[in-house]
Structure 1
Amino acid sequence: MQFTTPLKHNSVKIMLLGSGELGKEVAIEAQRLGIEVIAVDRYPNAPAHLVANESYVIDMKDKSQVLETILRVKPTYILPEIEAINIEALFEAEALGFTVIPNAEAVNKTMNRKNIRKFAAEELGLKTSGYRFVKTLDELKEAAEHIGFPCVIKPVMSSSGHGQSVARTYEDIENSFEIAKEARGDASELIIEEFIDFDYEITLLTARNEKETVFCEPIGHIQKDGDYIFSWQPMEMSETAKKRAQEIAKKITDGLGGRGIFGVELFIKGDEVYFSEVSPRPHDTGMVTMITQSQSEFALHVRAVLGLPLGFRFYGGGASAAYKAKSESFNPVFDIEEECFAEDSYIRIFGKPESHKGRRMAVVLTFGEAQEALKRAKTLIEKIKDRDYRETVEEKAAQEENEESNIFRKIANILLGK
């Protein structure tokens, strides 16, 4: 394969539709191979904007804005990095000859829990929990009685576990309905799932480039309100369960097709494996691969997109801990103790322009035997603090005043011919 230089007429271009912390790492890996990166998101100064060659701020759900940006940039590859994208724009771009990763239909299936569950369970015959789809509170109550308690209730469309809850009794149903309703956005349906009393859940990162498929070591994780807070690799599991997990991951990724890395989420009960969900992009729990593998999930994603060999070395166990802001800030500032910079650990600050309570702002990575690394990550994440809201409101006012002064100074210099 030929490699090019950014900002030339023949540059290979990757457009990221979604420029958060995962997109930022993809951008860095792409630029290491001389690829021009164009980062797109709904707000300015998103993490990947800070390292890209070019950036755009658009309404990602607006078909015309997405298409207009694609036609202006003419990317070699389009990488959707979030769920909240106008899918019609991706289908139209593909029809015009652009390459969507992994492909527009795979994005369409995976962005909607109804689409992917029906595809996995009914078309591919994968083992899943029992499920039903509902639209109204009355339908939800009826479905819950059929599924049984406890049961899991989610919007068919949401990201990072938003709107997900467990109804343990009939009395919890109305509250779960309201939680899902707030998060479901344009989606009118909910999915209600049988609660599987699983032993643990894993993410099996699966990379494919239409020539080969490779699996990373299984990743264990702990979630809170459907959002990841800790992950570790490898997750200890039986060889039988691991083999079945790989079989399911290959079947779902082969079914979706295309190139790239997929985060396949699975429930494990003894040696039994149940399919849960799949994301056709790097997975947040997979940030641990930045310390455990010779090629992180982000490097594998770029290699798969380019059709390059997918071999890598697993260095050894490790863990990650997500840091979530404790307060709101217009100018995030973190106090981090020196212990976080030990030789067996990294910290990655995402560079998000604002924080709010619960927003993921950084990650701690630790190397070592998985459970020991996890224990260390849990300790280190407590060594990070962020400033409170009132202090940063004052900082924002001072920053705006300083920016205004700089503008007037520049205008004056232009008028004076300086």
Structure 2
Amino acid sequence: MKNAIFSKKRILLLGSGELGKELVIESKRLGLEVIAIDRYEKAPAMQVADHSCAIDMSNKNILKDVIKKLNPDFVVPEIEALSIEALKELEDEGFKIVPNARTVEITMNRDKIRDLASRDLKIKTAKFNYIFKFDDLEKKAIEIGFPLLLKPLMSSSGKGQSLVETKNDLHDAWNQAQANSRGKVKGVIIEEFINFDFEFTLLSVRKHSGENIFCLPIGHLQSNGDYQCSWQPLEMNESLIIEAKKITTRILNNLNGAGLYGVEFFVKGNEVIFSELSPRPHDTGMVTLVSQNISEFELHLRAFLNLPIPNINLIEPSATRVILSDKEYKNPIYEGLNEALEFEKTKVLIFGKPVSRKGRRMGVVLSSNKDVNLARENADKAASKIKVSSN
């Protein structure tokens, strides 16, 4: 009887991109009902959900009215561009926001998560400052020192981020950040450019009991703030992993919401430096679809549904490489799938986005091998075979 009741649970997904699509697929395997919402029709997760609709999620009244009408058991944000005021009010009314409205608010704004980590929890981060008027930018930039990174206070997947080499680059970087800012916040964050040795993601699961459990570190490379490839496991000193787990535990104990978190770190020498945190499945964690016995998407579901999570084990070293579009196409097609799928233990996921843009992620290649370097090599080669084009 308990299983029958459980199967009727309804999940409302806010944001219907490629990560949401995989979450919907895992939800359907558990017999859950899923409603996918995004700002545009035919988004990837909508294609596999039970129901879907397109609305302006940044509009408080619209978002609140839709959620109340649909009356889900769980509201699961997948993106940052939504009304946090609506979520906070709904949580006060008894709706379950995953992991909780406070965590969504803190992590969707770079100033709030940096203040929590650096000021409140005394965790090492890059030097940073917030700017809300262009007239203040040059002075604050000189205090940080060049080169530096300039980012919108609210954005995703590296959108609006610039590496600023000199003060002459500040104006263009400011304009790019404003153009790509999400939500109503128009400020920017400038931060020290750390010439790190490498960066990694520590996928971390917070259970209802308060226990924090961790996946093996995932190595990744980014371009313009957006991930290009990832691999698991990542060879690194065990002492650095222990320190990253300690830092993550301090943050998750403060946020205290059940679910999966993607926590990013820089490593420079023997130092671990906190970078970013997302309270949901992470782009770089798509590798877990083939590398682990429980993927990041299933871990997220099990955590907020309060289902058992046994040991997380590595099945085989694995890697990903994104498939990018070189220009805008409506209803794009994909050439080279035959060649890409000739590589052993290699899969291709096409996200199904109805429109491509230059540099937009349209799919990903997943590859496994007994050696992680061979997995990376095959993922790269397979992805190079696939071209996004039009009819």
User: What range describes the TM-score normalised by the shorter chain of this pair?
Assistant: over 0.9
Q: Calculate the TM-score normalised by the size of structure 1.
A: 0.89
Residue 3 of structure 1 aligns to a residue whose secondary structure is helix
CA distance in 1, matches of 2:105, 2:29: 30
Shift of 1:5: 7.3
SS at match of 1:100: coil
2:187 is matched with 189
- Give the counterpart of 1:92 among 89, 92, 95: 89
Aligned residue number for residue 198 of structure 1: 196
Residue 267 of structure 1 aligns to a residue whose secondary structure is strand
Choose the corresponding residue for 1:28, options 25, 35, 39.
25
Secondary structure of 1:117's match? helix
Instruction: Return the alpha-carbon distance in structure 1 between the equivalents of residues 57 and 11 of structure 2.
Output: 17
Alignment of 1:200-239 (within 5 A): 200-211=198-209, 212-239=211-238
- SS for the counterpart of 1:48 is helix
How far is the alpha carbon of 1:249 from its aligned partner? 1.3
Q: Deviations over 1:172-219 (max 9, x none)?
A: 222222221221243221111111121111111101112222111111
1:373-412 paired onto structure 2 within 5 Å: 373-388=375-390, 392=391
Asked if 1 retains the 8 angstrom alpha-carbon contact of 2:19 and 2:283, the reply is: yes
Q: State the Cα deviation string for residues 305-351 of structure 1 (Å, max 9, x = none).
A: 11112222211211101111123222211112424223311111111
Quote the residue 1:138 is aligned against. 135
Q: Which consecutive residues of structure 1, in runs of 5 or more, have no partner in the other structure?
A: 393-418
Given that 2:324 and 2:388 are in contact with CA atoms closer than 8 Å, whether structure 1 keeps it comes out as no
Task: Output one character per residue of 1:64-86: Cα deviation in whole Å (capped at 9) or x when no partner.
Answer: 11111111111111100000011
Tell me the residue number matched to 2:285.
286
1:322 aligns with 2:319: no
* Contact 1:330/1:354 (8 A) holds in 2: yes
Match of 1:414? none
Measure, in 2, the Cα distance between the counterparts of 1:5 and 1:256: 29
Q: State the match for 1:4 in structure 2.
A: 4
**Aligned partners of 2:149, 2:53: CA distance in 1, in Å?**
37
CA contact (8 A) 1:207 1:310 kept: no
Partner secondary structure for residue 288 of structure 2 = helix
CA contact (8 A) 1:4 1:35 kept: no
Alpha-carbon contact 1:39-1:48 (below 8 Å) kept: yes
What are the residue-to-residue correspondences of 1:268-307 with 2, within 5 Å?
Answer: 268-307=267-306
- Structure-2 separation of matches of 1:4 and 1:271: 51
User: How much has 1:357 moved relative to structure 2?
Assistant: 1.9
CA distance in 1: counterparts of 2:270 and 2:316, whole angstroms: 24
85 and 283 in structure 1: CA distance in 2 versus 1, 3 angstrom threshold: same
TM superposition shift of 1:24: 0.6
Q: Is the 8 A contact 1:156 1:184 kept in 2?
A: yes
What are the equivalent positions in structure 2 for 1:20-169 lying under 5 Å apart? Answer: 20-169=17-166
Q: For the Cα contact (< 8 Å) 1:303–1:310, is it kept in 2?
A: yes
SS of the residue aligned with 2:3? coil
1:361 aligned to 2:362?
A: yes
Asked if 2 retains the 8 angstrom alpha-carbon contact of 1:152 and 1:166, the reply is: yes
Equivalent residue number for residue 336 of structure 1: 336
User: 1:279: Cα distance to partner?
Assistant: 0.4
The answer to whether the Cα contact below 8 Å between 1:4 and 1:12 also exists between their aligned partners in 2 is no
Return the offset for 1:88. Answer: 0.7
Give the letter aligned to residue 349 of structure 2: R
Identity %: 46
1:2 CA displacement: 2.8
Question: Conserved in 1, the CA contact under 8 Å of 2:340 and 2:381?
Answer: no
The 8 Å contact of residues 14 and 78 in structure 1, kept in 2 or not, is answered as yes
Q: Secondary structure at the match of 2:376?
A: helix
* Cα RMSD, aligned residues only: 1.5
Aligned residues: 386
Shift of 1:161: 0.6
Q: Distance in 2 between matches of 1:328 and 1:174?
A: 27
**What's the secondary structure of 2:31's corresponding residue?**
coil
CA distance in 1 between counterparts of 2:163 and 2:304 reads 37
Q: What is the distance in 2 between the residues matched to 1:66 and 1:245?
A: 36
Q: Which runs of 5+ in 2 are unaligned?
A: none
Code of the aligned partner of 1:323:
I
Indicate yes or no: 2:15 matched with 1:15: no
Which amino acid letter does the alignment assign opposite residue 286 of structure 2? M
Q: CA deviation at 1:377?
A: 1.1
Structure 1 runs, 4 residues or longer, greater than 3 Å off:
none
- SS of residue matched to 1:357: coil
Partner of 1:409: none
Q: 1:21 Cα deviation (Å)?
A: 0.6
Which TM-score applies when normalising by structure 2? 0.95
**Partner Cα distance (1:38, 1:27) in 2:** 9
More deviation in 172-181 or 230-239?
172-181
